[in-house]
Amino acid sequence: MSKKLDAFLETNLNELKEQGLYNEVDTVEGPNGPMIKVRGKELINLSSNNYLGLATNEDLKQVAKDAIDAYGVGAGAVRSINGTLDLHIKLEEKLAEFKGTEAAISYQSGFNCNMAAISAVMDKNDAILSDQLNHASIIDGCRLSKAKIIAFKHSDMEDLRAKAKEATESGLYNKVMVITDGVFSMDGDIAKLPEIVEIAKEFDLITYVDDAHGSGVTGKGKGTVKHFGLEKEIDMQMGTLSKAVGVVGGYVAGKQNLIDWLRVRSRPFLFSTAVTPGDVAAIISALQMIIDSTELHDKLWDNGDYLKKGLKELGFNIGDSETPITPCIIGDEKLTQQFSKRLFEEGVYAKSIVFPTVAKGTGRVRNMPTAAHSKEMLDNAIEVYARVGKELGVIN
């Protein structure tokens, strides 16, 4: 056993603990639904990404069980050897239909999808214009590609335009990409895709949208690209199958030639075992539900509006979210953490998010209402917020 490794771990773990940056991970003792059990306590769950409540949907559970009976529990191999089941092909056809593109490719997670797709398309001779608040998996995918990363100020179109002009006119780069989250999960704001597309057209940029938090939520469920009617303008529509869709996995949708390239060049497709049959079958059915009906989508937005109104009326700062994501911005990091802890004690599970995930002094408790919450649950949560907010002097 390496002494160097032990010394490294001890020093660094202690340092994190001293700085209060060592996060304990809670164990959820049962399903991740609108209510959850943590440390033996039943709580109103406002922390999941299970936007449409599909993670615990009874029909999807049955579909997954039937697929396990028909195919077994594992895909058996990586996609390019013999792990591509007919189910994977059906899934990719369904994803292309869902996103309004020629084709799609699926991956084992949203995170490795970004790592896979960005690095398959961009290389050291290229540059990537990346929104400052993009998700960690985008940042890592960009780093892996070895392209020059040029961050632009969050949703600042003047800054993007200036940097796009500079990058393309410098003659230093072969291709230039602009990459953005569709919905930013810390504030719930939506990327300015029409302006981004305009700039991309002017400078011939490749456009890449990570719509992890938009698919199932914006565009009547079809996502942020659809919300703006830009299906024909975005080169790479990335999404996750773990949030609104309720299962696990990631995908890129786009033109056939792009998907053909990703099939032969993206490394997690080539070298990591395919998503399990039970998961894939459940995802196909979940996508069909989202395509066929806006009922869950409408319920999600109704619940989002209800929670926002309730918290705003109490005097909380809920920011400028354009989606059901409802941040409750408290500011001071310690107070934010204390707030979240008191919510827990009073029966509400809503996590604190502080620096470095968000800027210093903008600590917040982030609420993610879902289609599965009842009004009674939301009323109870609002009542707890009122009590804890007054107790800690966050509201009057």
**What residues are annotated to the active site?**
185, 213, 243
The interface mask with ligand PMP, positions 55-94, x = CB under 6 A, is ----------------------------------------
Which residue number is nearest to ligand PMP in terms of Cβ?
110
- Part of the chain binding ligand PMP (CB under 6 A), chosen from 107-115, 218-226, 255-263, 294-302: 107-115
Task: State residue 238 phi and psi, 5-degree precision.
Answer: -100, 150
Which CB atom, from 212 or from 236, has the smaller least distance to ligand PMP? Answer: 212
Which CB atom, from 168 or from 215, has the smaller least distance to ligand PMP? Answer: 215
Burial of 170 by CB count in 10 Å (0-12 exposed, 13-18 middle, 19+ buried)?
exposed
- Residue 279 as a binder of ligand PMP (CB under 6 A): the answer is no
Q: Tokens standing for 195?
A: 């302006």
Count of residues touching ligand PMP (by CB under 6 A): 14
To the nearest 10 degrees (0 to 180), the angle between helices 256-265 and 110-121 is: 100
Please give the residues from 165 up to 224 whose contact with ligand PMP meets the rule CB under 6 A: 181, 185, 210, 212-213
Which CB atom, from 268 or from 319, has the smaller least distance to ligand PMP? Answer: 268
- The SS3 assignment for 232 reads coil
- Residue 242 as a binder of ligand PMP (CB under 6 A): the answer is yes
Residues 149 and 177: beta-carbon distance below 8 Å: no
Q: Tokens standing for 99?
A: 């996103």
Taking the complex as a whole, how short is the minimal distance between the CB of residue 219 and ligand PMP, in angstroms? 16
Q: Tokens standing for 189?
A: 């704001």
Rounded to whole angstroms, the Cα distance separating 273 from 281 reads 16
Which CB atom, from 168 or from 218, has the smaller least distance to ligand PMP? Answer: 218
- Out of 98, 111, 269, 385, the residue judged to bind ligand PMP by CB under 6 A: 111
Burial of 339 by CB count in 10 Å (0-12 exposed, 13-18 middle, 19+ buried)?
buried
- Out of 240, 285, 323, 326, the residue judged to bind ligand PMP by CB under 6 A: 240
Which CB atom, from 211 or from 389, has the smaller least distance to ligand PMP? Answer: 211
Taking the complex as a whole, how short is the minimal distance between the CB of residue 103 and ligand PMP, in angstroms? 20
- Residue 109 as a binder of ligand PMP (CB under 6 A): the answer is yes
Rounded to whole angstroms, the Cα distance separating 178 from 205 reads 6
Taking the complex as a whole, how short is the minimal distance between the CB of residue 242 and ligand PMP, in angstroms? 4
Burial of 3 by CB count in 10 Å (0-12 exposed, 13-18 middle, 19+ buried)?
exposed
Residues 48 and 23: beta-carbon distance below 8 Å: no
Secondary structure letter of residue 23 according to DSSP: P
CB atoms within 10 A of CB 18: 9
- Part of the chain binding ligand PMP (CB under 6 A), chosen from 106-114, 186-194, 252-260, 358-366: 106-114
Q: Tokens standing for 193?
A: 């895709």
The interface mask with ligand PMP, positions 120-139, x = CB under 6 A, is ---------------x-x--
Rounded to whole angstroms, the Cα distance separating 328 from 380 reads 16
Name the site residues for ligand PMP (rule: CB under 6 A). Answer: 109-111, 114, 135, 137, 181, 185, 210, 212-213, 240, 242, 250
